[in-house]
């Protein structure tokens, strides 16, 4: 029977969702909580919350886009450097391949046939060095846009959760209590789901996400309340 290995391959997407959702849950909640500490009308809280969600999602999405673009630029810069070294520093590159294999317990003599095979194809040689010497994978050309959209949309979804009670309730003080409960529950559920997809303990992931998100929101609330 053929052995089929099941490995989670959506790490980048999960990372983007975590970045966007975590900030979306905590930052709008802290902003709304700080404003509601000084005002009793939910209308102003909702207006400020919508403005923050719009600005925050754009800023976070743009940050994700630029980060992925920088990673791609770094990759191709290193790729060009490897191509030059293969041409102008052949002996040093050969030794680097031997060093890579020796880290896996393969002797210099045992890796000679592999070295000869790589030398016949400079492109494969370059790609081997990129992956095993530098630990760099060829970037997905669509990754930057995907990251920007995923982070931005996750931020929007996360932001509406703590803001929903203020939309439905006129008294911001009462809405604050409901918002805090809903946000903490959302953080716990979010951590549980994240644990499922990343393969770590669901309970541990849930508790960590709730604690970290709750602490961040509490600190931000305290600062906003102190200033107001």
The answer to the question of residue 144 being in a domain is no
Quickly state the pLDDT bin for 153 (edges 50, 70, 90): very high
Summarize the confidence of residues 90-99 as an average pLDDT.
81
Domain, as residue range, for 22: 11-72+149-227
- Phi and psi based region of residue 5 (left: phi greater than 0; alpha: psi -120 to 50; beta: remaining): beta
Determine the 3-state secondary structure of 1 from DSSP: coil
Identify whether the C-beta of residue 184 lies closer than 8 Å to the C-beta of residue 210: yes
Whether 153 and 199 map to the same domain: the answer is yes
Whether 65 and 168 map to the same domain: the answer is yes
The answer to the question of residue 2 being in a domain is no
The answer to the question of residue 140 being in a domain is no
Whether 107 and 172 map to the same domain: the answer is no
The answer to the question of residue 5 being in a domain is no
Whether 38 and 78 map to the same domain: the answer is no
Whether 166 and 201 map to the same domain: the answer is yes
Domains: count for the chain: 2
Quickly state the pLDDT bin for 27 (edges 50, 70, 90): confident
Whether 164 and 61 map to the same domain: the answer is yes
**pLDDT attached to residue 66:** 92
Whether 80 and 58 map to the same domain: the answer is no
The answer to the question of residue 194 being in a domain is yes
Whether 65 and 178 map to the same domain: the answer is yes
Q: Spell out the residues 6+ positions from residue 160 whose beta carbon is closer than 8 angstroms to its own.
A: 53
Whether 62 and 161 map to the same domain: the answer is yes
Would you say residue 5 has pLDDT above 70? no
41 burial level (CB within 10 Å; 0-12, 13-18, 19+): middle
The answer to the question of residue 141 being in a domain is no
SS (H, E, C) 63-124: HHHHHHHHHHHHHHHHHHHHHHHHHHCHHHHHHHHHHHHHCCCCCCCCCHHHHHHHHHCHHH
Whether 85 and 18 map to the same domain: the answer is no
Which of 64-68, 91-95, 122-126 tops mean pLDDT? 64-68
Would you say residue 156 has pLDDT above 90? yes
Summarize the confidence of residues 153-162 as an average pLDDT.
91
**pLDDT attached to residue 195:** 76
Quickly state the pLDDT bin for 224 (edges 50, 70, 90): low
Identify whether the C-beta of residue 69 lies closer than 8 Å to the C-beta of residue 83: no
Whether 91 and 192 map to the same domain: the answer is no
Average pLDDT value over all residues in the chain:
81
Summarize the confidence of residues 141-148 as an average pLDDT.
88
Whether 115 and 221 map to the same domain: the answer is no
Summarised one tens digit per residue, pLDDT across range 160-219 is: 998 998 888 888 778 888 888 888 888 888 888 777 766 678 888 888 878 877 776 677
The answer to the question of residue 3 being in a domain is no
Summarised one tens digit per residue, pLDDT across range 97-140 is: 888 887 777 787 777 887 888 777 888 888 888 887 777 787 88
């Amino acid at each position: 029977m053929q052995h089929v290995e099941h490995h989670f391959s959506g790490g980048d997407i999960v990372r983007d969702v975590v970045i966007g959702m975590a900030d979306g849950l905590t930052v709008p909640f802290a902003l709304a909580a700080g404003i509601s500490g000084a005002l009793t009308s939910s209308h102003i809280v909702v207006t400020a919350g919508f403005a923050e969600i719009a600005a925050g999602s754009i800023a976070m999405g743009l940050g994700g886009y630029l980060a992925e673009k920088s990673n791609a630029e770094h990759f191709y810069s290193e790729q060009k450097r490897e191509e030059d070294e293969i041409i102008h520093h052949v002996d040093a590159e050969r030794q680097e391949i031997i060093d890579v294999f020796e880290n896996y317990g393969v002797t210099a003599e045992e890796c000679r046939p592999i070295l000869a095979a790589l030398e016949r194809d400079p492109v494969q040689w370059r790609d081997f060095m990129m992956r095993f010497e530098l630990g760099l994978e060829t970037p997905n050309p669509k990754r930057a846009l995907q990251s920007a959209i995923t982070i931005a949309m996750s931020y929007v979804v996360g932001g509406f959760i703590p803001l929903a009670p203020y939309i439905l309730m006129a008294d911001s003080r009462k809405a604050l209590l409901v918002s805090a409960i809903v946000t903490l529950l959302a953080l716990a559920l979010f951590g549980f789901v994240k644990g499922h997809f990343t393969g770590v303990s669901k309970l541990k992931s849930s508790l960590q996400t709730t604690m970290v998100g709750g602490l961040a929101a509490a600190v931000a609330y305290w600062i906003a309340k102190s200033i107001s």
